[in-house]
Chains A and B, each alone.
Chain A
Amino acid sequence: MTQKVIPIVTQPLDEVMVSLYEAQKKIYPRSVSGFFSKWRWGMIWLTQIVFYGLPWLEWGQRQAVLFDLASRRFYLFGLVLYPQDLIYLTGILVISALSLFLFTAVAGRLWCGFSCPQTVYTEIFLWIERKIEGDRAARMRLDSLPLTSEKALKKGLKHLVWIALALWTGLTLVGYFTPIRELLLSFEQASLGPWESFWVFFYGFATYGNAGFMREQVCKYMCPYARFQSAMFDHDTLIVTYDNARGEPRGGRARAADPKSIGLGACVDCTLCVQVCPTGIDIRDGLQYECIGCGACADVCDTVMDKMGYMRGLVKFSTQNAISQKWTQHQIIKRVLRPRVLVYTTILLVLCIGLALSLEMRSPFMVDVIRDRGVMSRVVDGDKLENLYRMQIMNTTEKLQHYRISASGLNGLEIESDGDESNGLVTIGAAQSQWVTIHLQIPQESAEPGSHPIQFVVQALDSPDHVSERAIFLVPR
């Protein structure tokens, strides 16, 4: 039996460069089932139940998660956040980025293959495509056929379902920013506001385009993470690997044949691993930046190995060290606790604890004080010196709150409030904020000319919380 020789053809370099940017051939991923596929579908269900379901959840009298842009309040279950709380969003983003670093260091592109929206929606759209047009071979045949009424019907139905799902996705996204029940009602009555409709269609179109057409191109050319992920890889990172030593030389053979006696490795060269790949690569060529680590090739190869009666795991999640040094599962797991992972974990833990603590210790109201821009300092009632301040009090609870404003730092400092807010008493409704004008007075000539640091204290009357804010009191010469 002669070995199958694959001729190596040299290609001029510039041609290779150009082909990188050429319109890629359409990829028809074949359906696959197995361990990783089950996990992927599990993650798809989990992420999508959360994404589509969360806006429908109620919390008391309101939507549990609502980033109410129209009234500039973010509601997260029991939490009411103001735009001033941007720091928490920053914290969450930093934690997300670090988690990504950690996952990547331990298990490669786990995020990409299992929970990235690009993967998730592509998988859902592919499932629809498969249900309507059939699996890989049927789809390829259908695409090569001239347009018949059957083809038009299948294609039309597919796009219709895609568009419906994309619109629902767009509506759900906008439902995070506008109360979703009202949104759906106005959508049904075709009385959706112009901005809401715009964003429903914009995001719907993006979903339709990204999951229906661009697919792996997004991962290859648009994703910044895909470009620098190898910076977080080391030789102990779990990646999808082809066991070269075991698989080569590859080649077809009868099921009963003993591969050793005919000089072949375990790879039967069925190319199924290439057919199932959502990015259309051949994992047997080694780790490539296009690989999103979804494990589809590992799943399909295992089914082939089972059929052939060979050991599973010709293509599997493993580390470079494990492959080259033939490590056992136990040795691989032991290497997870290496310095890089420990450092990422420590920073991540510190940040998570910090965020949780600061949210826990967050005052149930916030105060901003600014000096009135119009008036520097003035004499009132003949013998009193007055400074004007504008104070914003933001009630971050969902109950009506009473506050008392006091000031200290100068002798004889008194608050004269006008209108309803007598004696520095303020009442603010649930999740409301209010601007209060404060007239601060001292007896004339009780302080040196110049600026004096003073302090406002806002005391909540329904809870023991208080907030202090510093300000300046000006005494003219």
Chain B
Amino acid sequence: MRNMRLMWIAWPAFLMAGVMEILVFSMLDPSDLTWFGQPLAVSRQGIYTLAFFMFWGITMASSALTTLLSISPFEVNRCPLPARERPDGCPKQESSCC
């Protein structure tokens, strides 16, 4: 389940980061960018690459929040019951716990 969730976070974010990359850099020339008033000392390819990973990071954060909110709070938080006393169907039962 953990792998599935990681995939749900990383993969759609990757696709959307690609879309962001195309949209942003079709309108913006990386060589026009400045960093606190100084021109960036990175080639265009460098800025494309760094920006892509920045976009990916942000979109992953969004996916991660969506994933977090879609998990029930009982699954996220610590459970006060010892494992064997948890009822049937509890997501924190040892057998199916993530």
Contact = CB atoms under 8 A, between A and B. Distances in A.
Contacts, number: 42
B26 interface: yes
Given A18-B96, A83-B27, A221-B7, A69 B22 contact: no
Interface stretch (A192-200, A263-271, A277-285): A192-200
B4 A69 contact: no
Interface string B25-57: 111010000000000000111101100000000
A145 interface: no
A193 B45 contact: yes
A193 B27 CA distance: 25
B44 to A, nearest CB: 5
A198 B25 contact: no
A18 B90 CA distance: 12
B45 A83 contact: no
A86 B19 CA distance: 12
Interface in A60-75: 69-70, 72
Nearest to A217: B7
Contacts of A23: 3
Main secondary structure of the interface of A (DSSP, over half): helix
Contacts of B26: 83-84, 86, 89
A69 B1 contact: no
Interface string A179-223: 000000000000001111011000000000000000000000110
B13 to A, nearest CB: 12
Contact of B49 (A86, A199, A221): A199
B45 A14 contact: no
- Counting contact residues on chain A (CB < 8 A from B), the size range is 20 to 34
Contact of A72 (B3, B29, B43, B96): B29
Contacts of B7: 221-222
A221 B77 CA distance: 27
Contacts of B82: none
A21 B29 contact: no
A198 B50 CA distance: 11
Nearest to B46: A195
Query: Which of B3, B7, B26, B29 has most chain A Cβ within 10 Å?
Result: B26
A21 B8 CA distance: 12
A89 B48 contact: no
A198 B29 contact: no
B73 interface: no
Contacts of A194: 46
Given A221-B4, A222-B11, A196 B96 contact: no
A339 B6 CA distance: 41
B49 A195 contact: yes
Query: Which of B3, B11, B45 has most chain A Cβ within 10 Å?
Result: B45
Given A86-B26, A89-B22, A195-B43, A21 B11 contact: no
17 contacts: A14-B89, A21-B1, A21-B4, A23-B3, A69-B44, A69-B48, A70-B44, A83-B26, A83-B27, A83-B29, A86-B27, A178-B45, A193-B45, A198-B49, A199-B49, A221-B4, A221-B7
Interface of B: 1, 3-4, 7, 11-12, 22-23, 25-27, 29, 43-46, 48-49, 89, 96
Given A83-B26, A178-B45, A195-B49, 19 more contacts: A14-B96, A21-B4, A23-B3, A69-B44, A69-B48, A70-B45, A72-B29, A72-B44, A83-B25, A86-B27, A89-B26, A193-B43, A193-B45, A195-B43, A195-B48, A196-B45, A221-B4, A222-B11, A224-B12
